[in-house]
Structure 1
Amino acid sequence: RPYWRCYYSNTDAVIYVVDSCDRDRIGISKSELVAMLEEEELRKAILVVFANKQDMEQAMTPSEMANALGLPALKDRKWQIFKTSATKGTGLDEAMEW
């Protein structure tokens, strides 16, 4: 994470991948996301969130994840959350087309 700033310059979109099954660390994910989005270089970047591991029974829904990450409060930023499963390859094409 300390090196993320190296990639902020000229960024049009941020793709943020979150483990939908990890309820214990969703707060940490939110803190990291909020800190990143406060960076001046990312002020105009759109946000795409991959709610990953949606193939698992215990996965939070995208709506639960959006609320846990505070996405509805992002009034001045275009964002979208997508159900994904990296192991099955589902949802990735839809998210990238958005």
Structure 2
Amino acid sequence: MNLLLNRFVALGLDAAGKTTILYKLKLGEIVTTIPTIGFNVETVEYKNISFTVWDVGGQDKIRPLWRHYFQNTQGLIFVVDSNDRERVAEAQDELSKMLSEDELRDAVLLVFANKQDLPNAMTAAEITDKLGLSQLRGRRWYIQGTCATQGQGLYEGLDWLSAELSK
């Protein structure tokens, strides 16, 4: 089987669940994480695709470095903590800045609305609204509710990416 190699960058505010998602996909298990300073990079093979996923720390001090990971990126995986209502506007602001970057103009966007297991979590529809996803023009995007610790929704998101990349 011929694996297509694709490069993705996983971004989002700190504590959204990027590292947990990466290692759940890579190892099938939950790893104890600490705040990512810098990045983790892993190759995840799924169906016909091999994803190189760059999981870049989300703390505000290191967000200016995000743009250095955009080159040759086919897709952006943006992870949102669905329970963090106080910072969803900040997440929207960061996403909007990224999507205006020239290097990401052709990148597909997969949003993981993570932490859906928490009782106060916003739905994927609420997050779609708060991130302004419906207003995106000329951008292929998809939002998937997830619970990274249980692995729920992660493969559905990868299914969408896989289908988009084989178009």
Q: What TM-score do you get using the length of structure 1 for normalisation?
A: 0.97
Equivalent residue number for residue 74 of structure 2: 12
Equivalent residue letter for 1:82 = Q
User: Which residue identity does 1:65 align to in structure 2?
Assistant: I
Aligned ranges 1:1-98 → 2 under 5 Å: 1-98=63-160
CA distance in structure 2 between the aligned counterparts of 1:71 and 1:16, rounded to whole angstroms: 12
SS of match in other structure, 2:96? helix
Deviant stretches of 4+, over 6 Å: none
- Paired-residue identity, %: 52
Residue identity in the other structure for 1:88: Q
Secondary structure at the counterpart of residue 47 of structure 1: strand
Q: Tell me the distance in 2 between the aligned counterparts of 1:39 and 1:75.
A: 14
Question: What is the alpha-carbon distance in structure 2 between the residues aligned to residue 89 and residue 52 of structure 1?
Answer: 10
Number of paired residues? 98
Partner letter of residue 90 of structure 2? I
Shift in Å at residue 5 of structure 1?
Answer: 1.1
Q: Can you list the C-alpha shifts for 1:15-72, whole angstroms capped at 9, x where unaligned? A: 0000001111000000000000000000010100000000111110100000000000
Separation in 1, partners of 2:133, 2:117: 22
Secondary structure at 1:50 match in 2: strand
> RCO (CA 8 Å, sep 6+): is it higher in 1 or 2?
1
Aligned-partner residue type, residue 159 of structure 2: E
Counterpart CA distance in 2 for 1:5 and 1:19 is: 21
| Structure 2: segments with no counterpart, 5+ residues | 1-62, 161-167
For 2:64 and 2:97, the matched residues in 1 are separated by 12
Q: TM-score, normalised by structure 2?
A: 0.58
